[in-house]
Homo-oligomer: A and B are copies of this chain.
Amino acid sequence: MDVAQASGFSPSTASIVLNEAPLSKYVAAKTKQKIREAAHHLGYHPDVFARSLRSQRSHMIGVLVIDLADPFCTLILQGIESKLLPTAYLPVIMDAHNQPHQLERYLEMMVERRIEGLITVANWLLFDISLLKDIHNRQIPTVVVGRDLESPTVKSVLVDNEAGGYAAIEHLFELGHREIAFIRGPKRLGDSRVRWRGIQCFAKTRGLKLNPALIYDLPGTTGSNSGFDGGLRLTNTILRSGERFTAVLAFDDLTAYGVIRALSEAGRRVPESCSVIGFDDIPAAALSTPGLSTIQQPMRGMGEYAAAYILEHLEQGSEQGIEPLLDTYLMAPTLAVRGSTAKNQKLEAIESDARQP
């Protein structure tokens, strides 16, 4: 260590001082001063490689994203990053581009690079949990953000989908909509089922009858905007079926945009002749005209929580045989009302008719 030479002390003393190791208490103040000055003067930075080799720690946290281009992911990432920034840990972001083999490749790289924690942003169907086996064997703390992976070995952080589904239909109901079409997510997706439970719960509570002819499921395909295509296609199907509806509750925002496109092409304006509500609150929702009413997921918050969870495990972590609360953490969604939902005109007409016969 050149700082040692420059300050005239031995490498070990310098090391002790610069790391503020326990032993540094016993080092003379003057010595510390000199060493620190020398270090500062030389612009000394400890060599990460050597340090890592010695300590067997990488100070890197892997962040595996299924598709960076999915707007759902980026805000979560920002949450993670902002939590990690003041820390000595470096997030290493990897983007699987929706392709399983890339995901696998990256997981290998992460293990090789000895990441100390893993956060997965998994809005995804094809995610094969067995891929995480290696990670789990090495006792790397892992958390999945955004969709429920239903695995006992990892912590999940996600939005309260049931509450979200409830809030979405409640919003439409309050606006006077009774004939509501539903485009649910792929059947295999736990999220989809749970949201539907929320919807059913609301319907039951308020005595709203759901028309089975207005309920459709997205196919379980993957791809950047399979949601959009699905929403477009299914809405066309519904329109052709001739069933009447005054609002559509879409599985997520991408789907909702597909719905809006289909409605528009069929000459039905949003929100005047049909309301549409999504789920997620992707950035585009605030930008488009009309703005998309949607159920806001606290994406930043989920990212922050995930990062905090990992940090906690890392800091006090591994000494105790802690195998703590691996439950799922649910965060509350928020209703964001924008331009794509409006009062049901027909119902208003009916009501005012009723009032003044």
Binding site for B on A (CB under 8 A): 45, 47-50, 52-53, 56, 58, 68-69, 71, 74-75, 77-78, 81-82, 85, 90, 92-93, 95, 97, 102, 105, 109, 111-114, 224-225, 228, 254, 257-258, 260-261, 264, 270, 283-284, 286-290
Q: Are B287 and A257 in contact (CB under 8 A)?
A: yes
> Which residue of chain B lies nearest to A58 when distances are taken between CB atoms in the complex?
B49
Q: How far is A264 from B257 in the complex, measured between Cα atoms in Å?
A: 18
A68-B74, A78-B68, A97-B81 as given contacts; A287 in contact with B254, CB under 8 Å = yes
Q: Are A48 and B112 in contact (CB under 8 A)?
A: yes
A75-B69, A102-B85 as given contacts; A92 in contact with B90, CB under 8 Å = yes
A268 to chain B, nearest CB (A): 11
Among the listed B49, B52, B78, B284, which residue makes an inter-chain contact with A284, where contact means beta carbons less than 8 Å apart? Answer: B284
17 contacts between A and B (CB under 8 A): A45-B111, A48-B114, A49-B49, A52-B52, A68-B81, A69-B75, A69-B78, A77-B95, A81-B97, A90-B92, A92-B92, A224-B283, A225-B286, A228-B287, A258-B287, A284-B284, A288-B288
Interface of A is mostly: helix
A254-B287, A288-B284 as given contacts; A50 in contact with B53, CB under 8 Å = yes
Given contacts A49-B49, A264-B290, 4 further A-B contacts (CB under 8 A): A224-B283, A257-B288, A287-B288, A288-B288
Contacts of A109 in B (CB 8 A): 90
- Identify which of A50, A75, A284 gathers the most chain B CB atoms within 10 Å of its CB: A284
Q: Are A225 and B69 in contact (CB under 8 A)?
A: no
In the A-B complex, the 8 residue pairs with the closest CB atoms: A284-B284, A49-B53, A49-B52, A93-B93, A257-B287, A288-B288, A264-B289, A261-B289
Contacts of A45 in B (CB 8 A): 111-112
